């Protein structure tokens, strides 16, 4: 799947200021959220933001940008984008 660089949602970028402010560009959808976990679908895969007192300050799916405030403990990708050819094992044994 190719991304059009003129589409703001196609550019995936993370900007973390200390552990209190996170800006994520390239957000396609917010799958779920609460004050301890935010799960986002991005162009680079599913991103899980973990912490305490997490709050979505700004969300613009048209522009693909999300702002998170709170104590951020971890940023984890659950899966890779589909164009990478599937999981590690499916590529290894294909």
Residue 35 falls inside a structural domain: yes
Measured distance CA(37)–CA(50) in Å, rounded:
5
Residue 61 falls inside a structural domain: yes
Range of the domain at 18: 8-79
What's the confidence (pLDDT) of residue 88? 59
Report the pLDDT averaged over residues 46-61. Answer: 93
Which CATH number covers residue 36? 2.60.40.2000
Residue 30 falls inside a structural domain: yes
Those residues whose C-beta lies under 8 Å from the C-beta of residue 16, and which sit 6 or more positions away, are: 22, 72, 75
What's the confidence (pLDDT) of residue 83? 52
Residue 53 falls inside a structural domain: yes
Residue 27 falls inside a structural domain: yes
Total structural domains in the chain? 1
Residue 52 falls inside a structural domain: yes
What's the confidence (pLDDT) of residue 5? 45
């Amino acid at each position: 799947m190719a991304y059009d660089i003129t589409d703001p949602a196609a550019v995936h970028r993370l900007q973390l200021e200390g552990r209190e402010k996170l800006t994520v560009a390239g957000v396609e959808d917010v799958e779920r959220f609460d004050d301890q976990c935010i799960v986002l679908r991005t162009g680079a895969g599913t991103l899980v933001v973990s912490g305490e007192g997490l709050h979505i300050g700004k969300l613009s799916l048209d522009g693909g940008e999300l702002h998170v405030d709170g104590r951020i403990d971890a940023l984890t990708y659950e899966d890779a984008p589909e164009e990478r050819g599937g999981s590690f094992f499916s590529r290894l044994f294909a």
